[in-house]
A = this chain, B = another copy of it.
Amino acid sequence: MKLSIGKKPAIIPTPILIIGTYDSAGKPNVMTAAWGGVCSSDPLSISFSVQRTRHTHPALCEKKECTISIPSTQHVKEADYFGVTSGKDRNKFSDTGLTPVKAPSVNAPYVSEFPLVIECKITNIVSVGVHDLFVAEVVDVLVDDAYTTPDGKGDLSKIPFFFYHPLERSYYKTGEFLMQAFSTGSLFK
C-alpha cells in the first residue's frame, strides 16, 4: 500500500553540477546546482535550473555560455560551499584555493581540480516558477588526464562520483555496478 508524503523533490539520485561563468566584472564564479540533467541526445543538450536571484543568473543570460564541472568525492566540501555562498560577496575560487581555468571552446571558467567538465552554449531559457530552466547544447567534454587510457580515451570508471539526495539534503557516494543497460529486450517476452 502507498501512503502520501506530500509534494517532495523525490528524485534520487540528483547530480552535482558546478556551473562556471564570468560575472559582469569578469570575475570567475561557480555555483552548485542539483536540478539538472541531460535533456536531448541530438543535438546533445543539458538542462539545469537557476533561481533568478542567483549571481550566476545574469551571467548565463548575458554570456549564453558556461561550463559544468562534475566534482569527485575529494571535493565534496568545496562543491557544497559553492552552493551555500554567493559570488556577489565572495570569490569562491580564492576562498577554497581551487583554480579557475578558461575553457577552450566557451567563454567561461571551469574548476581545474574537478575531473570532468562539460562546455555548453545556452540555446533556450524557460521560466518554471521561481527558477529559470536553461537549455544548453554540449560543445565538448573534457576529462582530467588522470582518468584517461594510454591511447587518450576517457576512463571514467575510476572517478569516485557522488550525488545529492534531495529528501535527506545530504551527499552520498555512487555505489557498485549492477548490470549493463539495454540488455533485457527478450527477457520478459
Contacts and interface: CB of A to CB of B under 8 A. Distances in A.
Interface in A137-189: 138-145, 148, 152-154, 156-157, 159, 161-164, 166-185, 187-189
Contacts of A176: 172-173, 175
A61 interface: no
A26 interface: no
Chain copies in the assembly? 2
A25 interface: no
A169 B142 contact: no
A50 to B, nearest CB: 10
A83 interface: yes
Contacts of A167: 154, 156
